[in-house]
Structure 1
């Protein structure tokens, strides 16, 4: 990695670690290696959203061409969100694409991710299935997102109804995550979810 990129990352990393705003928003950032090419981010689900009470881990890969090109960020924690792939964790966020500025810094990126959790953009989706659910049935979307936050991000409470449906498919021999995905995709109707898994 070029010296300019390493120096910039070191400076930005220190700024994030010392930032009161970042700490107040329950955002953490740590290095995964000594070469400053990989970072691990952690953001708390914003209050009054389906993600509240959850902690979401991010994988941040810094390209050699940084800061002229944005980092590649993926959610490691599984999440149900229109702009984040429920399969790969890939993110659709304009500041990591055409709205990237050389002056963008890590604290801004982390705060932007938290803002995205609070205000999804279903018209620019990364996950079309989730975006359709968000548009067609906001309550079902919120309940599903809360369930995923409970199952994968440590939210303390869950829907007993959704839990029992996942358990029902598990007891039939289906993988828990596949059962959850199928139920989430098929409006939590067990029979349709089972057909989806078997198709």
Structure 2
């Protein structure tokens, strides 16, 4: 059974200094404490600087004795994060989890992972190979993905709809697709092109 009071306490603790820590966590939608959404700021001095990365967080009924299940929602180019589905390779989310750890420490660990990739224990072999064999290209690609997927643009939803309609997509489909990807123009275009 999920320890509701602990989760509520952790949410409050995680969000009280988010301007300093660069991490926060909120309910995903509704009032289900077992489905949360975390955000982490890209660390300064990395290709992820300036980006805000969303993480889907699901708490198993055995939490805090079982690790939270975390997955990047924001696309990210990193050896330890799948560029396809956002799966994360990090020991504390698997066998090194301890009930002494919190959601905040898990999010801070993800932020640290962005600063210090572990290409020898990759989640995404293609990215890890690029990281090891062509580091300048890795950095450029990671920066491009941060610009494309992790930076909030000030472009309003109407401008996004207009741009995509001008590309030949029906307006109703464009609006529903943008809604399904939280207004992310690049993800919407990807979905529209693949359907």
- Aligned match for 2:68, one of 52, 71, 77: 71
Give structure 2 stretches of 5+ with no counterpart.
154-166, 168-185, 191-195
**Alignment of structure 1 residues 154-169 onto 2, 5 Å:** 154=151
Contact 1:77 1:153 in 2 (8 A): yes
Regions of 4+ moved over 6 Å? none
Contact 2:14 2:103 (C-alpha < 8 Å) held by counterparts = yes
Match in the other structure for 1:62: 59
2:92 aligned with 1:95, yes or no?
yes
How much does 1:155 deviate?
Answer: 7.5
Return 5+ residue gaps in structure 1 as ranges: 157-169, 171-175, 181-199
Contact 1:59 1:76 in 2 (8 A): yes
The match for 2:162 is none
SS of the aligned residue for 2:104 comes to helix
- Measured in 2, the distance between the counterparts of 1:37 and 1:155 equals 27
Structure 1 match to 2:3: 5
Counterpart of 1:30? 26
The alignment yields a C-alpha RMSD, in angstroms, of: 2.0
Q: Deviations over 1:40-82 (max 9, x none)?
A: 1111110110001111001000001111110100000001000
Deviation string for 1:72-94 (max 9, x for gaps)?
Answer: 00000001000000000000011
- Does the CA contact (< 8 Å) of 2:15 and 2:23 recur in 1? no
Alignment coverage as a number of residue pairs: 156
> Does the 8 Å contact 1:149/1:155 carry over to 2?
no
